[in-house]
Amino acid sequence: MGGLIRFPPPRVVVGRFPNGFRKELENTLKWLLYAGLHPEVDSQRGGDEIVSVITVPADEEDAAKRALDPGNRYQHELGRFVRAHARPRRKGKTLRAFIKEHRREITDHIRAQEITGPLNDEDREGWVSNDEGLLAWARAEGVEGI
């Protein structure tokens, strides 16, 4: 009987996670699934330890790289944060009041961009005025004049 032998489509590795990196493994899977990809997790022995390996079909490799790009992931998280924390618009809120109210979150955003050193409110004003995500958040909070 001559039948077709079907081989599974080729897969590419997009992440390797040793034991103890469960959170990173879960986050990577979350981003791949959010992007509509089809990841699979397999365990492999790597020397003395077991390593979890995430693979995707070869034709999804470029999409997986985009989904795991820190800039893309950050923009998604920031958008979700803005939607979750946006309050009804209030009139007359100043940029200074916005920064005073959300200093920690703004600083965390700036630090996520690998900016080090001391920050003052003038630096934060510059970031809010020039960063797309922070600007959208400030406008959603009712900040005027930016």
69-128 pLDDT, tens digit per residue, is: 776 665 666 666 666 666 555 566 899 999 999 999 899 888 888 888 899 999 999 999
* Per-residue confidence (pLDDT) for residue 125, from 0 to 100: 93
Residue 116, C-beta contacts closer than 8 angstroms, at least 6 positions apart: none
Arch. (CATH architecture) of 11-68 = 2-Layer Sandwich (3.30)
Specify the pLDDT at position 60.
87
- Give the pLDDT of residue 24: 83
Geometric angle at alpha carbon 51, from 50 and 54, rounded to 5°: 145
Contact in structure between 32 and 56 (CB atoms under 8 Å)? yes
For 8-31, how does the pLDDT look when each residue is reduced to its tens digit (9 = 90+)? 778 888 888 887 788 888 888 888
Q: Which of 42, 12, 11, 16 is nearest to 28 (CA)?
A: 16
Residue ranges per domain, the chain? 11-68, 83-140
